[in-house]
Structures are given as structure tokens and as C-alpha cells.
Amino acid sequence: MITGRVQGVWFRANTRQKAEQLGITGWVCNTRDGCVEAIFEGEENCVKEMIEWCHRGPPLAKIENVEVKNQSLTNGFDDFSIKY
């Protein structure tokens, strides 16, 4: 869960682009309360890099907090998508 100025700043599109570069699967979506939620699956070092990127986000974003919850790998995703 990523909080701050994260909606209306191309956060989801940039997240998908970065995830695809790293070979990560999962999804990203806006939440009703103005945050962005994402699930990342992939190689541990790639997921760590993705999470580090979330602390910065795209140029127009202003990140306040990134909450990470580790879960078991499900291999439930074929690609990385934006949920609407």
C-alpha cells in the first residue's frame, strides 16, 4: 500500500512499466481512499528493487509511506496489469 500524492500522477502506468522491466507479475490499482495498492511476484531481488522504486515513484508523486506485507508466492499471475 502506497500513500501520499500517488493518484493522478501516472503512478500505476509507471509501476507497470517498471514491473515489466524487472520481470515481475501482479497488479496495481487506485484505492477509494486515495492510495495505491499493488501486488508483486517475482525473483526476490527484483521485488525488493520494485519496492524501493515505490518509495520514490514517478516524478510527480510525493510518497508518504509504503506498507509492505510479505505473503507466500502463488504464481497466480501471467503478467503485470493495472486494475480499474
Query: Which listed residue (5, 12, 14, 45) is catalytic?
Result: 12
- Calpha distance 14→9 (Å, rounded): 9
Q: Which residues sit opposite 66 in a β-bridge?
A: 2
DSSP 79: S
Q: Residue 7: which of 68, 83, 61 has the closest Cα?
A: 61
Has 70 been annotated as catalytic? no
Query: Which listed residue (16, 30, 65, 75) is catalytic?
Result: 30
Active site residues: 12, 30
